[in-house]
Amino acid sequence: MSPEQRSHDLEAYEARVRNGPCFVCACVAGAPGSAHVTVYEDEHHIAFLDRYPTVPGKVLVAPKVHIEHAVRELDESAYLRLMSVVRKVALAVEAVVKPERTYLLSLGSQQGNAHLHWHIAGLPAGTPYPRQQFHALMAENGVLSFTAEEAAAMGERLRAALSE
Protein backbone atom coordinates (compact mmCIF):
# COMPACT_ATOMS: atom_id res chain seq x y z
CA MET A 1 0.00 0.00 0.00
CA SER A 2 1.47 3.33 -0.98
CA PRO A 3 1.11 6.38 1.25
CA GLU A 4 -1.34 9.13 0.47
CA GLN A 5 -0.17 12.54 -0.62
CA ARG A 6 -1.30 15.51 1.46
CA SER A 7 -0.81 19.23 1.21
CA HIS A 8 2.04 20.76 3.17
CA ASP A 9 1.77 23.96 5.26
CA LEU A 10 4.63 25.80 3.61
CA GLU A 11 4.24 28.99 5.68
CA ALA A 12 4.56 27.09 8.97
CA TYR A 13 7.45 25.05 7.59
CA GLU A 14 9.31 28.16 6.44
CA ALA A 15 8.78 29.90 9.78
CA ARG A 16 10.13 26.85 11.62
CA VAL A 17 13.26 26.39 9.46
CA ARG A 18 14.07 30.09 9.37
CA ASN A 19 13.40 30.93 13.04
CA GLY A 20 13.63 27.65 14.93
CA PRO A 21 16.60 25.64 16.09
CA CYS A 22 18.71 23.71 13.59
CA PHE A 23 16.74 20.54 12.89
CA VAL A 24 19.85 18.38 12.36
CA CYS A 25 21.57 19.59 15.54
CA ALA A 26 18.33 19.07 17.48
CA CYS A 27 18.01 15.53 16.10
CA VAL A 28 21.64 14.69 16.95
CA ALA A 29 21.20 16.12 20.47
CA GLY A 30 17.97 14.17 21.03
CA ALA A 31 15.98 17.33 21.73
CA PRO A 32 12.29 16.73 22.55
CA GLY A 33 10.15 16.65 19.41
CA SER A 34 13.13 16.36 17.09
CA ALA A 35 13.34 12.59 16.76
CA HIS A 36 13.56 11.16 13.26
CA VAL A 37 13.75 7.55 12.12
CA THR A 38 17.50 7.05 11.95
CA VAL A 39 18.72 4.63 9.30
CA TYR A 40 22.48 5.10 9.64
CA GLU A 41 24.82 6.65 12.16
CA ASP A 42 28.53 6.68 12.70
CA GLU A 43 30.88 8.89 14.68
CA HIS A 44 30.62 11.79 12.21
CA HIS A 45 27.38 11.35 10.24
CA ILE A 46 23.68 10.67 10.62
CA ALA A 47 21.08 9.59 8.07
CA PHE A 48 17.36 9.68 8.79
CA LEU A 49 14.02 9.59 7.06
CA ASP A 50 12.79 12.94 5.84
CA ARG A 51 9.86 14.07 7.97
CA TYR A 52 8.22 15.61 4.89
CA PRO A 53 8.98 13.10 2.11
CA THR A 54 7.81 13.71 -1.42
CA VAL A 55 8.81 10.19 -2.51
CA PRO A 56 8.86 6.94 -0.49
CA GLY A 57 12.03 6.28 1.48
CA LYS A 58 13.44 9.81 1.17
CA VAL A 59 16.48 10.09 3.44
CA LEU A 60 18.60 13.00 4.62
CA VAL A 61 22.33 12.54 5.34
CA ALA A 62 24.26 15.11 7.36
CA PRO A 63 27.46 15.55 9.28
CA LYS A 64 26.74 15.57 13.01
CA VAL A 65 28.76 18.75 13.51
CA HIS A 66 27.00 21.92 12.41
CA ILE A 67 28.57 22.65 9.03
CA GLU A 68 26.93 24.95 6.53
CA HIS A 69 29.14 24.76 3.43
CA ALA A 70 30.04 21.53 1.66
CA VAL A 71 33.00 23.03 -0.14
CA ARG A 72 34.33 25.72 2.23
CA GLU A 73 34.00 23.98 5.59
CA LEU A 74 34.99 20.41 4.79
CA ASP A 75 38.49 19.41 3.93
CA GLU A 76 38.83 16.86 1.17
CA SER A 77 38.94 13.80 3.41
CA ALA A 78 35.87 14.90 5.41
CA TYR A 79 34.01 15.66 2.17
CA LEU A 80 34.89 12.25 0.73
CA ARG A 81 33.82 10.49 3.96
CA LEU A 82 30.47 12.31 3.83
CA MET A 83 29.99 11.43 0.16
CA SER A 84 30.86 7.81 0.94
CA VAL A 85 28.01 7.77 3.48
CA VAL A 86 25.67 9.42 0.95
CA ARG A 87 26.53 6.69 -1.57
CA LYS A 88 26.14 3.89 0.98
CA VAL A 89 22.71 5.17 2.06
CA ALA A 90 21.66 5.80 -1.56
CA LEU A 91 22.47 2.19 -2.43
CA ALA A 92 20.25 1.06 0.46
CA VAL A 93 17.44 3.34 -0.77
CA GLU A 94 17.80 1.81 -4.23
CA ALA A 95 17.68 -1.71 -2.80
CA VAL A 96 14.52 -0.98 -0.82
CA VAL A 97 12.42 1.28 -3.04
CA LYS A 98 13.68 0.14 -6.48
CA PRO A 99 13.58 3.65 -8.02
CA GLU A 100 13.76 4.54 -11.67
CA ARG A 101 16.43 7.08 -10.75
CA THR A 102 18.02 8.24 -7.50
CA TYR A 103 18.29 11.96 -6.95
CA LEU A 104 21.07 13.33 -4.72
CA LEU A 105 20.86 17.00 -3.75
CA SER A 106 22.31 19.28 -1.14
CA LEU A 107 19.76 21.96 -0.33
CA GLY A 108 19.34 24.67 2.30
CA SER A 109 20.75 28.16 2.61
CA GLN A 110 21.94 30.69 5.16
CA GLN A 111 18.29 31.76 5.43
CA GLY A 112 16.93 28.36 6.48
CA ASN A 113 17.94 24.73 6.89
CA ALA A 114 21.54 25.95 7.03
CA HIS A 115 23.04 22.69 8.38
CA LEU A 116 24.63 20.87 5.45
CA HIS A 117 22.53 17.87 4.45
CA TRP A 118 22.06 15.72 1.38
CA HIS A 119 18.67 14.56 0.15
CA ILE A 120 18.48 11.02 -1.22
CA ALA A 121 15.25 10.64 -3.15
CA GLY A 122 14.38 7.57 -5.18
CA LEU A 123 12.05 8.46 -8.06
CA PRO A 124 9.32 5.81 -8.15
CA ALA A 125 9.41 3.72 -11.32
CA GLY A 126 6.77 4.76 -13.82
CA THR A 127 6.44 8.34 -12.57
CA PRO A 128 5.15 10.36 -15.56
CA TYR A 129 7.87 12.63 -16.93
CA PRO A 130 6.09 15.93 -16.03
CA ARG A 131 6.05 14.76 -12.37
CA GLN A 132 9.78 13.87 -12.29
CA GLN A 133 12.89 15.85 -11.41
CA PHE A 134 12.22 19.02 -9.40
CA HIS A 135 8.45 18.44 -9.47
CA ALA A 136 8.94 15.15 -7.59
CA LEU A 137 10.96 16.92 -4.89
CA MET A 138 8.88 20.03 -4.28
CA ALA A 139 6.83 19.98 -1.08
CA GLU A 140 4.58 22.54 -2.78
CA ASN A 141 3.23 19.58 -4.75
CA GLY A 142 2.41 17.70 -1.55
CA VAL A 143 4.16 15.38 0.85
CA LEU A 144 3.49 11.74 1.65
CA SER A 145 1.58 10.78 4.78
CA PHE A 146 3.16 7.93 6.71
CA THR A 147 2.08 6.54 10.04
CA ALA A 148 4.75 6.14 12.71
CA GLU A 149 4.54 2.38 12.13
CA GLU A 150 5.05 2.76 8.36
CA ALA A 151 8.03 5.07 8.91
CA ALA A 152 9.53 2.63 11.43
CA ALA A 153 9.08 -0.25 8.97
CA MET A 154 10.76 1.75 6.18
CA GLY A 155 13.60 2.59 8.55
CA GLU A 156 14.00 -1.09 9.43
CA ARG A 157 14.12 -2.09 5.74
CA LEU A 158 16.75 0.57 5.05
CA ARG A 159 18.85 -0.43 8.08
CA ALA A 160 18.66 -4.07 6.92
CA ALA A 161 19.83 -3.09 3.44
CA LEU A 162 22.68 -1.09 4.95
CA SER A 163 23.83 -4.06 7.01
CA GLU A 164 24.05 -6.39 4.00
d(CA 29, CA 143): 26
Q: Does the pLDDT of residue 74 top 60, yes or no?
A: yes
Kindly give, in sequence order, each residue whose CB lies less than 8 Å from that of residue 162, ignoring residues fewer than 6 positions away: 39, 40, 88, 89, 92
Domain ranges of the chain: 4-163
* Between residues 8 and 146, the one the model is more confident about: 146
- The answer to whether the CB of 112 falls within 8 A of the CB of 21 is no
Kindly give, in sequence order, each residue whose CB lies less than 8 Å from that of residue 153, ignoring residues fewer than 6 positions away: none
**What's the CATH architecture for 4-163?**
2-Layer Sandwich (3.30)
Query: What's the chain's average pLDDT?
Result: 92
Q: What is the pLDDT of residue 35?
A: 84
- Nearest alpha carbon to residue 120 among 53, 75, 70, 28: 53
Confidence band, pLDDT 50/70/90 cuts, at residue 96? very high
Q: Does the pLDDT of residue 70 top 70, yes or no?
A: yes
Q: What is the pLDDT of residue 109?
A: 86
Q: What is the pLDDT of residue 18?
A: 84
Q: What residue spans of the chain are helical by DSSP H?
A: 10-19, 23-29, 76-97, 134-137, 148-163
Confidence band, pLDDT 50/70/90 cuts, at residue 20? confident
Q: Does the pLDDT of residue 1 top 50, yes or no?
A: no
Q: Tens digit of pLDDT for each residue in 82-92?
A: 999 999 999 99
- The answer to whether the CB of 8 falls within 8 A of the CB of 24 is no
Instruction: To the nearest 10°, report the CA torsion of 146, 24, 109, 152.
Output: -20
Percent of the chain topping pLDDT 70: 98
Q: Tens digit of pLDDT for each residue in 22-65?
A: 999 999 999 988 889 999 999 999 999 999 999 999 999 999 99
Q: Tens digit of pLDDT for each residue in 127-146?
A: 999 999 999 999 988 899 88
Q: What is the pLDDT of residue 21?
A: 87
Q: Does the pLDDT of residue 4 top 80, yes or no?
A: no
Q: What is the pLDDT of residue 14?
A: 79
Q: With left for phi above 0 and alpha for psi between -120 and 50, is residue 127 left, alpha or beta?
A: beta
